[in-house]
Chain A
Amino acid sequence: MGTRDCQHICGESSPAIGEAGKTGEWRDSFPVIDQEKCLPVRQNKPSCFLCWLYCPDAVISKTIPIQINMEYCKGCGVCAQICPAHAITMVNEEEFCPNGTDEGF
């Protein structure tokens, strides 16, 4: 199959999510938020949101409760390290799938 349907005469790229694929597959640990410790949840109002601020990949939402896009979270652990309430823990993927299956989060 040829590429003549492509109208480009030079390398013209368009924006899309997941350019590098499902980068969630890269990680070996993933963040888990303890909602009882998370400040915006406890106060039930916008506050803190440092995890949203510091996520290098913009996969955390500025919502109550905080949501993390697990399809694209690379498991870097910056959010866990930065959370002032220590509400985020990095959990090993293996721990979550003890049988080594694909059943996940």
Chain B
Amino acid sequence: MNERMARKASTWILDGNHAAAQGAKLSRVQVIAAYPITPQSPVTETLSEFVEGGGLDAEYIAVESEHSALAVCTSASMVGARTFTATSAHGLAYMHEMLHWAAGARLPVVLACVNRAIGAPWNVLNDQQDSISQRDTGWIQIYARNNQEILDSIIQAYKVAESVYVPIMVCYDGYILSHTEMPVDVPAQEDVDRFLPPYRPHTILDPANPKNYNLVTLANPRVDAEGVLCHGYMELRYLLQEALQNSRETIIKVGQEFGELFGRSYSNMFWEDRLDDAEVVIVAMGSLAMEARVAADMLREAGHKVGVLGLRVFRPFPKADVAKALKKSRLVVIFDKNISYGLEGATCSEIKSALYGSSVNVGIRNFIVGLGGRDIKARDLVDAVNKSLLSMKEGGLNKEYPDWICDI
């Protein structure tokens, strides 16, 4: 066994919410502000238990809204504290303004989004509309397939965020993961301490060297008192995009380092299952990517060469990596637990965007699935793939709008 590898992990049975809370605890977060919302509430309850019980030395703020939760975290992050919040659906929507703010302010806040459907009408069960709706805000977005990945992703998120100064949301499916128990290797605190260096803020809040952060910024560049031409609003926003584009490198490097220390590597922007010889690729994100592997097994038994591309990092979207992975396929079937109303599923649009301009010429079919917690089984995915194959054979694969797997 590699001398450098962690030796002291132990296996616990944890649901996704507890895995997230453990991830935050092991990351030694210093300020927590989170408002309860189904199905996230156990995360904030568990963290308050850690703080009150003395297991986590942090300031726990019982905020009165999610907007305030992220406002507390952004300002605490400015001071130099490592911060954490968690939410779902309407809570994420309520902090929308602050999501933009945290990204523009370049603060390494980490947020756990327990994916849940958004109203109207009310629905507390799983889909990914909530976090997908926030994909334009400038946050890095990571989707976990299982509870191990939740815990691991949160720890890695701090290392990435604090290196590139971009906030990160770690998303996982409500109920399917948040409330389902599975074995999770929980690393030892001393090993996480070796992995995660302390946070060094880029902001200075010191009366001896006073600075003002995020003032009104003009459209055009403006000269400062020393004669240096400083950014206009657009240049600052360019830098955010640049940071997201460049973060791919850091995400992969941190994933590799994590693998070296903990034995589980995250050195890829997505999970690849049998893509090498796949003619048909299923694309899914979150827990559905695990279901997709079972579907791939079933399809392979029926003689189809099927692989799975399990999207992990949704922002920055790994365009080049995706184009490369789909190079040899004939058909891509994309399952979205979300929809950009008036168009199609988000991952479908993004995959198409990744393929445009590349030499990859592949058929694409999009299915909207699982909204509002509608159960989606491997069998359903198999049927959808078969339906797509048939359409492709009959020459009617391309459709203007996605298919839905529901009872309409």
Contact = CB atoms under 8 A, between A and B. Distances in A.
Interface of A: 1-3, 5-6, 8-16
Contacts of B394: none
A3 B232 contact: yes
Contacts of B210: 14-15
A2 B220 CA distance: 11
Contact of B203 (A6, A12, A14, A16): A12
Contact of B231 (A8, A14, A16): A8
B400 interface: no
A12 B214 CA distance: 6
Interface in B210-240: 210-215, 217, 221, 224-225, 228-232, 235-236, 239
Given A3-B221, A3-B230, A14-B225, A9 B202 contact: yes
B236 A10 contact: yes
Nearest to A6: B230
At the interface, is chain A mostly helix, strand, loop or mixed? loop
B405 interface: no
B212 A9 contact: no
Closest 6 CB pairs of A and B: A16-B225, A13-B212, A6-B230, A10-B106, A11-B214, A3-B231
A63 B22 CA distance: 62
A70 B371 CA distance: 67
B104 interface: yes
B204 to A, nearest CB: 8
24 contacts: A3-B230, A3-B231, A3-B232, A5-B229, A6-B224, A6-B229, A6-B231, A8-B231, A9-B202, A10-B202, A10-B236, A11-B214, A11-B231, A11-B236, A12-B203, A12-B211, A12-B212, A13-B211, A13-B213, A14-B211, A14-B212, A14-B224, A16-B224, A16-B225
A20 to B, nearest CB: 12
B35 interface: no
A4 B217 CA distance: 17
* Of listed A6, A11, A15, residue having the most chain B CB within 10 A: A11
Interface of B: 104-106, 165, 202-203, 210-215, 217, 221, 224-225, 228-232, 235-236, 239, 243
Given A6-B224, A11-B213, A11-B217, 16 more contacts: A1-B229, A2-B229, A3-B235, A5-B229, A6-B228, A6-B229, A6-B231, A8-B236, A9-B106, A10-B106, A10-B202, A10-B213, A10-B236, A11-B215, A14-B211, A15-B210
Contacts of B211: 12-14
B391 to A, nearest CB: 48
Contact of B213 (A2, A12, A15, A16): A12
Contacts of A13: 211-213, 215
A22 to B, nearest CB: 14
Which of B105, B217, B236 has the most A CB atoms < 10 Å from its CB?
A: B236
A16 to B, nearest CB: 4
A79 B19 CA distance: 64
Contacts of B231: 3, 6, 8, 11
